[in-house]
Amino acid sequence: IGRNLHYQESVESTQKIAHQFASEDVPEGTVIIAEEQKFGKGRMSRKWHSPKYTGIWMSLILRPNIPLTNAPQLTLLTAVAVVQAMEEITGLQPEIKWPNDILLHEKKVTGILTELQAEADRIHSIIIGIGINVNQRKEDFPDELQEIASSLSIEKGEAISRAALIRSVFKHFEKLYLLYLKQGFFPIKLLWESYAVSIGKELKARTLTNVIEGTALGITDEGVLKIKDQSGVIHHVYSADIEL
Ligand code: BTN
């Protein structure tokens, strides 16, 4: 991971560039990284605030030989890699909110966006976008993010080396990815669950079409969240916003 690294000062979105590169058959593990994104993309068609020199905005290109339905597993694997890197570099203990938000003191410091290029039901490329808020100050966040977002330096109280964190993310990602290719999702799932905040808790999941309230039971082998509602029905949630 990251041996083929494309660095850019300013881009619209590293996801967009990664999509172009992926269709040009660049090697697996290629990373696109930028100092600033003008139109950073978040989940559910939201924007991702990506100011210059303060965060890590990057997209990884993968080509695992796995069924399409297992793609969400790689989002969870990425969250584990980022948490392990943060622990190593900052000593802080981040938590994961399903499926892919990384929180410190209940505020979001990282988002992960997984997108696919597929032909029929075969994966051509998986593009994993990672946005880490590293050295923003509180006043750098727009008003609407003040209560919900933070950066590593705010939570740690000192500046954090982005270069060291990037190297550490690559290292942990590569280790987990090789483990995943060899042994499947099970060991990754155990690690993910050990960092997850939502499991066993009451929560509300807002999907694009409805709202499900209940207790989070855990995740399936496909990385899908299982929620048991009051009447005992178990729902499988593929994509949603979670309120704890
Ligand atoms: C989320 O909504 O939580 C996911 C945010 C993902 C942001 C990253 S930053 C690098 C990559 N390029 C983008 O445009 N988005 C992702």
Q: What is the DSSP string of 166-215?
A: HHHHHHHHHHHHHHHHHH-SHHHHHHHHHHBSSTTSEEEEE-SS-EEEEE
- As a whole number of angstroms, the distance between CA 23 and CA 19 comes to 6
Q: What is the mean pLDDT of the chain?
A: 95
Return the structure tokens found at 100. 């892919």
Question: What's the fold here for domain 202-243?
Answer: SH3 type barrels. (2.30.30)
Residue 15 is assigned to a ligand binding site: no
Give residue 67's Cα distance to chain centre. Answer: 20
Q: Of ligand 1's atoms, which has the minimum distance to the CA of residue 108?
A: 3
Return the structure tokens found at 116. 């696919």
> In what helix (H) or strand (E) does residue 86 lie, and over which residues does it extend?
helix 71-90
Residue 84 is assigned to a ligand binding site: no
Q: Which residues sit opposite 127 in a β-bridge?
A: 61, 115
What pTM was computed for the model? Answer: 0.94
Residue 116 has pLDDT above 90, yes or no: yes
Cα dihedral sign, 236-190-43-103: positive
Q: Choose one of 7, 15, 39 to mutate for the ligand 1 pocket test, by most ligand atoms within 8 angstroms of C-beta.
A: 15
Measured by CA distance, the residue closest to atom 7 of ligand 1 is 131
Residue 25 has pLDDT above 90, yes or no: no
The tens digit of pLDDT for each residue in 159-212 reads: 999 999 999 999 999 999 999 999 999 999 999 999 998 889 999 999 989 999
- As a whole number of angstroms, the distance between CA 174 and CA 62 comes to 11
pLDDT of 223 reads: 83
CATH 3.30.930.10 residue window(s) in the chain: 5-195
* Distance in Å, CA 95 to ligand 1 centroid: 18
Burial of 33 (0-12, 13-18, 19+ CB in 10 A): buried
DSSP state of 125: E
Q: Of ligand 1's atoms, which has the minimum distance to the CA of residue 40?
A: 14
* Distance in Å, CA 12 to ligand 1 centroid: 11
Q: Of ligand 1's atoms, which has the minimum distance to the CA of residue 16?
A: 14
Give every strand in the sheet of 211-219, ordered side by side: 234-237, 225-228, 211-219, 202-206, 241-243
Mean pLDDT of 85-104: 95
For residues 211 and 205, the answer to whether their CB atoms sit within 8 Å is yes
CATH of 5-195, one of 1.10.10.10, 3.30.930.10, 3.90.1150.10, 3.40.309.10: 3.30.930.10
Please state whether the peptide bond connecting residue 99 to the residue before it is cis, i.e. omega within 30 degrees of 0: yes
**Residue 221 pLDDT class (50, 70, 90 cuts):** confident
How do beta strands 31-37 and 5-11 pair?
A: parallel
From the CB of 57, is ligand 1 less than 6 Å away?
A: yes
DSSP-derived 3-state class of residue 84: helix
pLDDT of 204 reads: 95
Q: Which residues sit opposite 235 in a β-bridge?
A: 227
For residues 87 and 97, the answer to whether their CB atoms sit within 8 Å is no
* Distance in Å, CA 233 to ligand 1 centroid: 33
**Residue 214 pLDDT class (50, 70, 90 cuts):** very high
pLDDT of 198 reads: 84
CATH 2.30.30.100 residue window(s) in the chain: 202-243
